[in-house]
Homo-oligomer: A and B are copies of this chain.
């Protein structure tokens, strides 16, 4: 077979930025963005992004420069996803929930040339710039004012976003991607356990992630997408670019309050949204005043901890159809999607919830997902029981960690990306995460999955938050220790449940060796700014505690025991101060 060379007609470097140009041609008059009273069409969005790219170049931004942004889900945040790479630069969206010192760390590490700041985050940005180490160059700052109702807030007399748009030249051709392996985005991990790492995405990886996620989630044409997931999370799980591919409408909201979510769904006919399971609680706990009728089914893609069955049932009864996914910054968002088989609809509700809580099958763009013993790199049996580390490989795995060869090399082993998560593969090929590898509790030689214990805890009617970590045990080495927050009554008071009632509930629902030997009640569990439970803090606490059995006299008769005063003494104070 002869060589037939690539040419302009048959080879285009893959880049999700392409979707915008196409949208401007084939969805030109359709609505691209809705935010308060602002509406744009795809043609307008394209023009605005061309202007933005042109202005960025006028400001000296060039290939591979990092452009950072601190903003909620507003139109400018969406436009930056195209405008920045259209200037050849790399987009770095920063988690707005970080504190000033963290923001400064990221700005210094990324060597950002420019920082876009939404007007509400000007105080945070000011503080962050003060925290910048003297060795770091300070980025130029551009404020993004409220588009509907400008406040006039500026930083040090600097530029405002709309000035860049109006001053740009829409006829200046956008930067053309030469090599699809070039960087498009830099996203820092949230760093639950270590310093944040800068994950670099290529144009190719982002493009293929978009295609594969749209396909697996079944995003048809004309989606109306609600931005309930921050765009700073893996570029909105790549749906920023994805909406341009489908000619969808981006419904932007500044906060994920119940009122904003209900209103957006009702006013604009939202068809799709992504969110963490915690948003289900926001929706379900909405006051009557905040609610609007939901007339058509809303597809919801959710990640993170699998929502408990009861929560899943409630949210689906409210008009939402949930698809569960699993991912991480390093995999350009979702790496596994729990594709649903029609025949599962006939199973009992509890079994359906268990099926839905599984993380699912590999994203199409991945070559393979497996569960391995990472010492031998042997695959575990597909029996739904054998634990191993979840490993991935394929086109939507990051290029690597920015300026961090050590962690990059540690993450890639033998042609696989090691997720650090522990899971099993069921005989039907569906993967289920059992734990973060560091969260596995090894008790008497047995591996205990803390997620499994947490799942049982969540089934207790009074438990609203639960986390299980290892605590030291003189005989077994480690033993599970549970931290729980209880439901509140109508007056906002937390319910009271006795420790042994929780332990008994566990004994009735899991293998004996897995039962927590200690339950600690808290007002609220300590979390990161992105809502992840800070297990290392809990682990610190657990280290100082004693198993319940060691402070009671009749370990075999939980049912009859009175409330332990010793437990009360050990109760952790109000965790809001943590």
Contacts and interface: CB of A to CB of B under 8 A. Distances in A.
A340 B400 CA distance: 40
Please indicate which of the listed interface residues A8, A205, A416 has the most CB atoms of chain B within 10 Å of its own CB. A8
A10 B412 contact: yes
A181 interface: yes
Contact of A395 (B5, B14, B393): B14
Contacts of A64: 1
Contact of A10 (B22, B214, B400, B403): B400
Contact of A417 (B9, B216, B367, B430): B9
A35 interface: no
A21 to B, nearest CB: 7
A193 interface: no
B408 A22 contact: no
A214 B364 CA distance: 12
A2 B400 CA distance: 10
A289 interface: no
A181 B7 CA distance: 12
A411 B258 CA distance: 56
Interface in A272-327: none
Given A18-B367, A211-B215, A395 B339 contact: no
Interface string A139-161: 00000000000000000000000
A205 B10 contact: yes
A394 B12 contact: yes
Interface in A5-31: 5-12, 14, 18-19, 21-22, 25-29
Interface stretch (A125-133, A218-226, A451-459): A218-226
Contacts of A216: 221
Interface residues of A, number: 71
A205 B186 CA distance: 28
A426 to B, nearest CB: 11
A433 interface: no
A6 B181 CA distance: 8
B4 A400 contact: yes
B221 A340 contact: yes
Interface string A207-241: 01001101110101110000000000000000000
B8 A393 contact: yes
Contacts of A220: 218
Interface string A395-429: 10111101100001001111111000000000011
Contacts of A186: 1
A27 B64 CA distance: 41
Contacts of A174: none
A64 B181 CA distance: 27
A34 to B, nearest CB: 17
Interface in A68-85: none
Contacts of A362: 22, 25-26
Contact of A368 (B21, B395, B411, B413): B21
A498 to B, nearest CB: 45
Contacts of A10: 205, 393-395, 397-400, 412, 417
B428 A183 contact: no
Contact of A12 (B14, B245, B341, B393): B393
Contacts of A218: 218, 220-221
Given A1-B64, A364-B211, A429-B27, A9 B415 contact: yes
A366 to B, nearest CB: 8
Given A14-B208, A221-B340, 19 more contacts: A2-B403, A4-B200, A8-B393, A9-B397, A9-B412, A10-B394, A10-B398, A10-B399, A10-B400, A11-B395, A12-B393, A18-B367, A22-B367, A22-B368, A27-B361, A211-B211, A216-B221, A218-B218, A218-B221
Interface of A: 1-2, 4-12, 14, 18-19, 21-22, 25-29, 64, 66, 90, 181, 183, 186, 200, 205, 208, 211-212, 214-216, 218, 220-222, 245, 247, 339-342, 361-362, 364, 367-368, 392-395, 397-400, 402-403, 408, 411-417, 428-430
